[in-house]
Structure 1
Amino acid sequence: MRYVYFAVEGPHDVEFVARFLKLHGLKRIQHKPQLAPFWGPVLPTTWPSPLGSTDLMKRVSVPAFFQNDAVSVAIDAVTGDSQLLISAINVRNTVNQPGGDELHAIGIVLDSDEKSSASERFTKISKELAAVKLPLAVTPGQVVDGPPRIGIFVLPDNVNAGTLEDLLIDCAEKQYPQLLASARTHIDSVKAEFPPYAKEDLVDFQKPAGRRKALVGSIGSVLRPGKAIQMSIQDNRWIDGEALELPRVKMFRAFVDALLAPSPVPALAPGVGATSA
């Protein structure tokens, strides 16, 4: 069994990665007896969690798990560069046991946000992983052999500024073109004028990715009324059919495929490097 760990930035990213796992026949694990014992050390043993916490409102952090006969995957939703690093390092140190199974691969997926470029966020994380004796990835999207195999993907395409929503909008153009068009009309009609809005009403909407997030949310509210967007990503056809042939989607798919594949690292599509450490 190959064990793969993903650290991502939120629940939407968890479900996005999960759609590519589904293409490998991996199924979500809901009940603990079905989970590979390898992951036992990452399961919380206290509540509130972590040990020493008193916050009753904080959700207990548990990865989402997916398995088939050959691969077992854990996907953790965390926030910020420091937590992405801490999660990846802690999992490597926790699950690897002398004489036992070892982690096959670590994938880190993050956005290129308004504060840092794709190369800046990648460089920071890559160097800090290498500082704790993990393999050094040279370029965003590259997968290097280990152990453990390492890959860092900066959404939407390892080069341009953006977020997961940019890829979802690409997918909607293929899968839900009419919904996308009507959602754009709705979002474009919103003018940040006070009144009719209070200043606090549109704080998130006016952030750099606000309109794109609202656009995806508008489509999701039709596909899964009253449910969170991650449920629509999980259940609907965002990442399916013609959307799988989109260049940026194919790039991400190749990244996931390379992390899951047995050794050696397979050759990746143009735009995604692969080397041996």
Structure 2
Amino acid sequence: MRYHYMVVEGAHDAAAVGKVLELLGARQIKKLLTLNKLDEDRYFEHLTKLDFPYNDDMTERMPVPLFFRYGDHQDLDLIAIHAVGGESALVKTMMATLSNLDDNGESFTSLSIMGDADGRTPSGALAYYKEKLEEFPNPPAVMSHFANFAEPGLVLERRQRIGVYVLPDNEQTGTLETVLLECAAGSYPDIHDKAVEYVDHFAPNYGQDWTGSKRDKAVIGCINNLLRPGTSNAVSIARDQWFCTNTMTLSSASKLQYFLQQLLGMEPCSPEQE
């Protein structure tokens, strides 16, 4: 049994990672009973036992991760993808998860952080994660490995595999939406082009300020409303062809896939860093 834990910013990121994992052959675990049967050591149990209302707010969604399985019962990987509600909570949530375990996370096969570059460079985002790590004076030993990253996009082989991924591709500024639009242009070119035309036509009339990823989010929302009216973007990302066999050949999507393959041990890890 191998356990993997990834923290991501939001539900859209979790849906994207889940869809790529499914393309690699993983399957989502939707029933708690199924998870408990597979997780014989109950290692993920604390991630599903949360008190309602969370943070004393009855309108807040219970932050239960998405769970996936890869392989069969004799050679099984269990994967938890935890959407934490923003980049400021990435390190904090992973720290809390590890601290709630009797072994402080030593049994994990891989631990990884995924966030957006947004208006910064990916190296700037990585520096931000390191700064957040410094706010905790006595982190679990496995967390100390995150302080040694020289650049994003790596998976380092330590006692666990330790990974940091900065969307869209560890090289340019942007977000998950950057990746989704690249994929949409491949899977739904007509819808993509018309959605871009629509947003760019109407936005100036309503005084929209397209800072950060706002324009990209608007375009993706238009595409989603044609593909799956009345559903969230996360549902469309998980069920439609944003990520598919054809789009996995695109640059940003293929880099994300390779990163996940490294975490699962399908591909070799990055060279040792000084």
* Range of TM-score over shorter length: 0.7 to 0.9
Corresponding residue for residue 185 of structure 1: 197
Corresponding residue for residue 101 of structure 2: 95
Contact 1:96-1:102 at 8 Å conserved across structures: no
Corresponding residue for residue 28 of structure 2: 28
In 2: Cα distance, 1:71 partner to 1:276 partner:
27
TM-score of the aligned structures, taking structure 2 as reference length: 0.85
What is the letter of the counterpart of residue 60 of structure 2?
K
Confirm or deny that 1:266 pairs with 2:268: yes
Cα deviation, 1:113-148, whole Å, max 9, x if unaligned, reads: 22x332111123146558733312221001111233
In 1: Cα distance, 2:132 partner to 2:272 partner:
19
Corresponding residue for residue 253 of structure 2: 249
Percentage of pairs with the same residue: 30
In 2: Cα distance, 1:39 partner to 1:253 partner:
24
Aligned residues: 257
In 2: Cα distance, 1:145 partner to 1:254 partner:
15
In 1: Cα distance, 2:111 partner to 2:45 partner:
17
Which secondary structure does the structure 2 equivalent of 1:104 belong to?
Answer: strand
What is the letter of the counterpart of residue 210 of structure 1?
K
Corresponding residue for residue 270 of structure 1: none
Contact 1:96-1:103 at 8 Å conserved across structures: no
Contact 2:69-2:77 at 8 Å conserved across structures: yes
Q: How big is the shift at 1:172?
A: 1.1
Structure 2 unaligned runs (5+)?
none
> What is the aligned counterpart of 2:238 among 220, 231, 234?
234
Q: How big is the shift at 1:94?
A: 2.6
Which secondary structure does the structure 2 equivalent of 1:4 belong to?
Answer: strand
> What is the aligned counterpart of 2:221 among 212, 217, 220?
217
In 2: Cα distance, 1:275 partner to 1:23 partner:
29
Confirm or deny that 1:65 pairs with 2:85: no
Backbone CA RMSD of aligned residues: 2.3
Structure 1 unaligned runs (5+)?
268-272
Corresponding residue for residue 174 of structure 2: 162
Contact 2:23-2:245 at 8 Å conserved across structures: no
CA gap 1:236/1:119 in 2 versus in 1, 3 angstroms: same
In 1: Cα distance, 2:204 partner to 2:212 partner:
14
In 2: Cα distance, 1:127 partner to 1:58 partner:
28
In 1: Cα distance, 2:117 partner to 2:56 partner:
33
TM-score of the aligned structures, taking structure 1 as reference length: 0.85
In 1: Cα distance, 2:273 partner to 2:99 partner:
22
In 1: Cα distance, 2:271 partner to 2:218 partner:
35
> What is the aligned counterpart of 1:147 among 136, 159, 166?
159
Q: How big is the shift at 1:65?
A: 0.7
Cα deviation, 1:192-236, whole Å, max 9, x if unaligned, reads: 34xxx4x6xx4xx63321111111111111111111011111111
Q: How big is the shift at 1:251?
A: 1.0
In 1: Cα distance, 2:264 partner to 2:271 partner:
13
In 1: Cα distance, 2:160 partner to 2:69 partner:
18
Q: How big is the shift at 1:173?
A: 1.5
CA gap 1:91/1:275 in 2 versus in 1, 3 angstroms: farther
CA gap 1:96/1:157 in 2 versus in 1, 3 angstroms: farther
In 2: Cα distance, 1:155 partner to 1:54 partner:
32
